[in-house]
Amino acid sequence: MAARYYIGHVVVLEAQSLDLYTYHPYVNQNISSADTTVVPLGSCFKYPLKSLTRAMPPVWGNTTVRVSYKRTPPYVVDPFSALKGMEIYTLETISKYYKFQIEYFPYNGSYYNEKDRATYYAAFGALLAHNIDVTVGAYYLKNTEIFDFDVSYQYLQDSLFWVVPKASELQKWQRVALAFSFNTWMAFLASFFLYNVLYALHLRLSQMKVSTKIFFYLFGILIEQAVTMPVKYTVKALVLTWIFYCLIISTAFKSQIINLLSGVSYGDDITTVREITDSDLIISLPVGYANMYDHDDPLERYIYDHNVQCVEIYDCLQRTATKRDTASIAIGRYIDYYSPYFLNEHGHRTIHVMKERVCLMPIHMIVSKGFPLFAQINSLIMLMEANGLIDYNYNYMDNLFKSQYFSQLRLTDKVEHNDLETMALPFLLLCFGLVLALVVFLGEVVWCLVRGRVGSDS
């Protein structure tokens, strides 16, 4: 019984002889079949006694470690394929060092709900009963794991983020307004107006004739039209300054327009939790994530009360990407792993990951309480991190994300033409100008008729 629960330091006192006995369960480097041979230590009346403890074996060649894994890419993908996952890579590196074998057991259940103890035993029951030795799958500590199990050093770290649908694609004619930001447009219009006023004021102070034609001369320079400004209106310093200003503005505008019309632009993405709650999006979180919002704060309470439970995180992401009616939470690198599968025809994500993290998520191995290999596993994990092996796994998976992304891209030979939809804005402006000119013309005709009638009556 002591060996089953990894109790290795045992002393038995024989009542009559007062002799002491113990056992060294792992002398054969086998955890599952412990050596229960009785080892005499000596007698209470005879000194010195033999050493009670014996150092753990440096290698465990006869041991098979039973590992339960929950598929959570990129941390655990598939231990039986070439792409195993970061935690499996770490475990297998440790197994090579200590020379033990690994037997994998899939766990297809959900992460436990800390408000329902039954789910805790469903998730960790095999570990509690010592039928499993190690559990991996992007596990982070919630409440009681630290008391019920041995928990490894936090050798991996990630964060939870809100995921919402990507903003809708803008129509091509709408992109013209995006050439500059709103503040830039306002600054540009204000500078044009003020420069006209400044120019007119300079002419007035110089006792020169001021004309409304100055506005059209300066506007002509702005739109890069050939302008012949009369000498009487020319102030060389002001004109040269305006020319250089217009050159920079015009070049920036045209280059941005070319970029916008030849590419794809999107509206403003949701960036705050408040915007999520104010929108029509359905909040769909796994129950464990929803429990983080079970507080008195009105915003957090709203999220908790309006959550529509989503069992699998991938299903949450898929609905967010396809139906575009859901906001959810997922692990950062988990999102990166699946993002190449959520692309539109332009090769852009159909989901948007908000920059503000929900919380940090240190990742641990959960180990059966008292497991003899735990201390050695933990020390080697820290050594691996200190020597950059954990960072190597990070970089390997990051490169994999990039290759997956490019493999999912489908480049097309279709040539993008500036069709009528693309050029709708200039045509609309032209029509507006024609209508305005017609209205002005009709107004002048009516005005002339009215004046003529008044003159004839008088």
pLDDT at residue 302 is higher than 90: yes
User: What pLDDT is attached to residue 375?
Assistant: 93
Work out whether strand 64-69 and strand 134-139 pair parallel, antiparallel, or are unpaired.
Answer: parallel
**Residue 371 banded pLDDT, cuts 50, 70, 90:** very high
pLDDT at residue 331 is higher than 60: yes
* Over residues 141-152, mean pLDDT: 81
pLDDT tens digits, one per residue of 61-91: 999 999 999 999 999 999 999 889 999 999 9
Q: Give the strands of the sheet with 12-13, arranged side by side.
A: 12-13, 19-22, 39-43
Q: Which helix (H) or strand (E) holds 328?
A: strand 326-331
pLDDT at residue 49 is higher than 70: no
User: What pLDDT is attached to residue 447?
Assistant: 83
CB contact burial 311-323 (16+ within 10 A = b; e otherwise): eebbebbbbbbee
How many other CB atoms sit within 10 Å of the CB of residue 29? 17
pLDDT tens digits, one per residue of 397-434: 888 777 777 776 654 445 555 566 656 666 776 787 78
Lowest mean pLDDT among 240-249, 369-378, 424-433: 424-433
Average pLDDT, the chain: 83
Q: Is 240 left (phi over 0), alpha (psi -120 to 50) or beta?
A: alpha
* Over residues 213-218, mean pLDDT: 74
**Residue 172 banded pLDDT, cuts 50, 70, 90:** low
**Residue 132 banded pLDDT, cuts 50, 70, 90:** very high
Beta carbons of 362 and 352 less than 8 angstroms apart:
no
The SS3 of residue 199 is helix
Amino acid at 402: K
Give CA–CA dist 82/22, Å, rounded. 45
pLDDT tens digits, one per residue of 51-63: 666 678 999 999 9
pLDDT at residue 353 is higher than 80: yes
The SS3 of residue 29 is coil
User: What pLDDT is attached to residue 104?
Assistant: 96
Which range is most confident: 236-245, 315-324, 408-417? 315-324
Q: Residue for token digits 């990070």?
A: 394
Helix/strand/coil (H/E/C) assignment for every residue in 365-397? EEECCCCCCHHHHHHHHHHHHHCCHHHHHHHHH
pLDDT at residue 278 is higher than 70: yes
Token readout for 424 is 């709708």
